[in-house]
Chain A
Amino acid sequence: MKTKEDILLLLSEIPDPEIPVISIIELGVIRDINITDEVSLTLKITPTYSGCPAMKQIEDDVRKKLTENGFTNISINTIFSPPWTTDWITAEAKEKLRIYGIAPPEHSTEDKSWLTGKTKNIACPRCKSQNTKLISQFGSTACKALHQCEDCLEPFDYFKCI
């Protein structure tokens, strides 16, 4: 019988549909795996954002991967609590995001100082300059904000902290 570690390894092969350089395991959306027998398991999955359209794709990809590996009885439950946080993205995954051109979330969500307008300067993922500015809190997807580097002048996405 497959172990939880085997399943984690299998699911690590599934890329995030919108940011293919990181896996859904690195993203932190799989919250629990419960293997009941050779062909049955239950997964708990949590959405990154309430309306994230990638969640359906992730669920379909998970089903496909598990079916290919002999599971016939797959139950996927969506849970909301505890709510997903960017704190769950691993350090390695953050570095992958940066190399891909997306500035990774920089501070812990425990730090609420940004709410009062104290924004940290986000480092440009290309030239690493700290001389950047916020263009818009809302970017190409729900999880990203749009910034621009004042030195290399390139606009870039920032994976915002939630």
Chain B
Amino acid sequence: MTTQEALFNYTLRLGDTNLILAQRLSEWTGHGPFLEEDLALTNIALDITGAAKSLLEYAATIENKGRSADDLAYFRNDRQFFNAQITEQPNGDYAKTIARQAIMDCFDYYFFTELAKSKDETLAGIAQKSIKEVTYHLRHTSSWLERFGDGTEESHNKAQTAINQLWQYTGELFEMNEVDEILLKEGIAVDLNLVKAKWEKHMADLLAKCTLTQPENVFMQTGSRKGIHTEHLAFILAEMQALPRMYPDAKW
């Protein structure tokens, strides 16, 4: 694998993770529990869509085979996507959406903080931009998780169930393969072991504050680095890609 191929795959992985998470969050648009929350989730989804757009545009540039960011988003099948499996998990109830988002905001906060130091100027720039936005997201989702966890018995149970269901997908976020090894040597990729230590500490503190219990001895799911996904991704793509695939020459 060449450095260019590794960089393409790496950028695609980051772009896909943001794209699918944003697509999931966007499903709440018009369905939020109340107006301010509807706006908040839509705003967060918009920021993440923006990051996905920047990353996929960069991936298209690196690949240099005439594919655009839209081509990458709309004309690949599920096995060609490298998003983390946690991002494709269904929204469930509000506690589950918030738990998934808090886990990802916390990951993104530390991940982008490291990526901002990357020797690849475009990735570093996108990361510097995203940190500012993710800081707001993390603050928002943490405060909701705390209200659910430390709220009523019912809200606590829903938040705990969400954490229990999602925890098996968190191991994958820190997996490194050949792509990471090649780019780590170049000072481009992030050492995910560093991010993992910071994420674990932050999540442990957050869950304790929320009176939630961190699941132990969980079997960690794996696969997205190889394009293997849970059954949910193909359904997301079916909805997201339907229009451009039916009308591939449509312009808007």
A21 contacts partner chain B, Cβ-Cβ < 8 Å: no
Considering only CB atoms, which chain A residue lies closest to B38 in the complex? A138
Structural contact, A138 and B122, CB atoms closer than 8 A: no
Structural contact, B128 and A82, CB atoms closer than 8 A: yes
B135 contacts partner chain A, Cβ-Cβ < 8 Å: yes
A81 contacts partner chain B, Cβ-Cβ < 8 Å: yes
Structural contact, B122 and A137, CB atoms closer than 8 A: no
A70 contacts partner chain B, Cβ-Cβ < 8 Å: no
Give the docked Cα–Cα distance between A75 and B185 (Å).
Answer: 35
Structural contact, B40 and A47, CB atoms closer than 8 A: no
Considering only CB atoms, which chain A residue lies closest to B58 in the complex? A80
Structural contact, B36 and A51, CB atoms closer than 8 A: no
Structural contact, A137 and B129, CB atoms closer than 8 A: no
Structural contact, B135 and A115, CB atoms closer than 8 A: yes
Structural contact, B54 and A138, CB atoms closer than 8 A: no
Chain B residues positioned under 8 Å from A83 (CB to CB): 125, 128-129, 132
Q: Which residues of B contact A (CB under 8 A)?
A: 36-37, 39-40, 42-44, 46-51, 53-54, 121-122, 124-126, 128-130, 132-133, 135-136, 139-140
Structural contact, A146 and B125, CB atoms closer than 8 A: no
The smallest beta-carbon distance between A28 and chain B, in angstroms, is 14
Residue-by-residue, is A134-162 near B (CB-CB < 8 Å gives 1, otherwise 0)? 01111110100010000000000000101
Give the docked Cα–Cα distance between A83 and B47 (Å).
Answer: 14
26 contacts between A and B (CB under 8 A): A47-B50, A47-B129, A49-B46, A49-B47, A50-B54, A50-B129, A50-B130, A50-B133, A51-B51, A79-B125, A80-B125, A80-B129, A81-B125, A81-B129, A83-B128, A83-B129, A136-B39, A137-B40, A137-B140, A138-B39, A138-B44, A138-B140, A142-B133, A146-B39, A162-B132, A162-B136
Chain A residues positioned under 8 Å from B125 (CB to CB): 79-81, 83
Chain B residues positioned under 8 Å from A80 (CB to CB): 54, 122, 125-126, 128-129
Chain B residues positioned under 8 Å from A115 (CB to CB): 135, 139
Chain B residues positioned under 8 Å from A51 (CB to CB): 46-51, 53
Considering only CB atoms, which chain B residue lies closest to A50 in the complex? B50
Structural contact, B121 and A81, CB atoms closer than 8 A: yes
A52 contacts partner chain B, Cβ-Cβ < 8 Å: yes
Chain B residues positioned under 8 Å from A136 (CB to CB): 36-37, 39-40
A16-54 CB contacts (< 8 Å) to partner B:
47, 49-53
Beyond A49-B50, A137-B140, A142-B43, list 4 extra A-B contacts (CB 8 Å). A80-B122, A81-B129, A83-B125, A138-B36
